[in-house]
Amino acid sequence: MNKSYATQTCCKINLGLNIVERRPDGYHNLQTIFYPVPLCDELLISKGEKEDVLTLRGNPLEGEVQDNLVLRAVRLLRQEGFQIPPLHIDLRKVIPSGAGLGGGSSDAACMVRTLSLLYDLPLSEEQMKGLVAKLGADCPFFINPSPLYAEGIGNVFTPISLNLSGWYLLLVKPEVHVSTREAYAGVHPHQPAYSLLEIAKLPVGQWAERMVNDFEESIFSNHPLLSKIKKELYHQGAAYAAMSGSGSTLYGLFRSRPDCEHLFTDHFTFVCQL
Question: Which residues carry out catalysis?
Answer: 12, 138
- Determine contact, residues 15/42, Cβ cutoff 8 Å: no
Give 200's contacts (C-beta < 8 A, 6+ positions apart): 15, 33, 160, 162, 211
Give Dmax over CA atoms of the chain in angstroms: 56
Give the integer Cα–Cα distance in Å for 254 and 250: 13
Q: Is residue 12 within 8 Å of 34, Cβ to Cβ?
A: yes
Is 3:45 a contact under the CB 8 Å cutoff? Answer: no
Distance, first Cα to last Cα, the chain: 34
